[in-house]
Amino acid sequence: MLHGPPIVIVTFPGVELLDVTGPSAVFARARELCPDAPEVILASPRGGTVAAEGGIALADTVALADLTGPFDLILIAGGSEAGLTALRQTELYDWLTVAAPKARRVGSVCGGAFVLARAGLLAGRRATTHWRATARLQAACPDTRVVPDAIYTLDGPICTSAGVTAGIDLALALVEADHGAGIAGQIARDLVVFLRRPGGQSQFSEALRAQNLGSSAVAPALHEIQAHPSHDLRVVRLASLCAMSPRNFTRRFAQEIGTPPATFVASARLDHARRLLATTGLSIAEVAFASGYGSPEAMAHVFRARLGITPGDYRSRNRPSQHPG
């Protein structure tokens, strides 16, 4: 018997299993620790058994037509592109039109963001999805502020997360908002996952991408950017390190790394500042100057614009847990 509005996780043929089971595990443990926490319902457009990616089936899903609300949360899982596209021929979008206004929150995991976008629920909101698809989501939704390097976003009643396991981070954030950090922390330790992997934490670092893509021709510049973010990293100097003209260097760098040098430098400096905030006791000002920002105010501006939080907030959220694992 349900007590209060439930959490509905929407599945479909081709759904990514971890998009469903990760958040489900978090919410189920919240229910065990807090009797007033919502129960979880696995639903699908037509109900019954749903074949997930990888050949595993989800049995006894509830048909959307049988769910009339109200809802605590409607969470759209991601999955294969074919599966997401096929949803257009199902009852899902008509159901969402009626159900979303009856939900306290509506969210997505990974490619589920494209469902929210198509339903008009991301207009004027911050959102994210798997890093491989953020550019496509932004192109499809010019009135949405897509945050490409966020683990999850919370914008009013709309919440979105990046790929697969990021759904666990989103679920923990929602549990913390509703039931407190202590409950969220206990669940994280039970599941042996990060206690606090904040929404502003990057899905992947510029350093890793550079190691995968960069050639020896631009290697001196990449090393300088990553090893010395506080140095002069203007194109003229970086080009000289690679024995190239600024024009040739800019063209070669963009071809190999996939982004202009100045954009890469900005991301690398942000990565460096995040690491220092999370792992050292340096002051905010010391982190700013060590990361190549001219002032703490300049760094704070970048953090707010790129991550939606201040450097101080990032540090407090990203401190390692002091509890035993």
Domains of the chain: 7-191 (3.40.50.880), 206-318 (1.10.10.60)
What share of the chain has pLDDT > 70, as a percent? 90
> What span, in angstroms and rounded, lies between the C-alpha atoms of 150 and 146?
9
For residues 214 and 255, what is the distance between their CA atoms, to the nearest angstrom?
10
pLDDT above 80: residue 108: yes
Query: For residue 20, what are the CA distances in angstroms to 3, 80, 144, 185, 219?
Result: 22, 13, 25, 21, 41
Active-site pick, 34, 110, 141, 159 = 110
- List, in order, residues 6 or more apart from 14 with CB less than 8 Å away: 51, 52, 53, 79, 80, 82, 83, 84, 86
DSSP 256: H
Whether the model pTM is above 0.95: no
Average pLDDT of every residue of the chain: 87
**Active site annotation includes 242:** no
Query: Is the confidence at residue 96, as pLDDT, over 60?
Result: yes
Q: Which helix (H) or strand (E) holds 38?
A: none
Contacts of 232 (CB under 8 A, 6+ apart): none
Average pLDDT over residues 14-39: 95
First to last CA, the chain: 34
Give, in order, the Cα–Cα distances in Å from 35 to each of 31, 81, 188. Answer: 5, 37, 18
What CA–CA distances, in Å, run from 279 to 39, 248, 251, 275? 37, 37, 35, 6
Rounded Cα gap, residues 278 and 322, in angstroms: 13
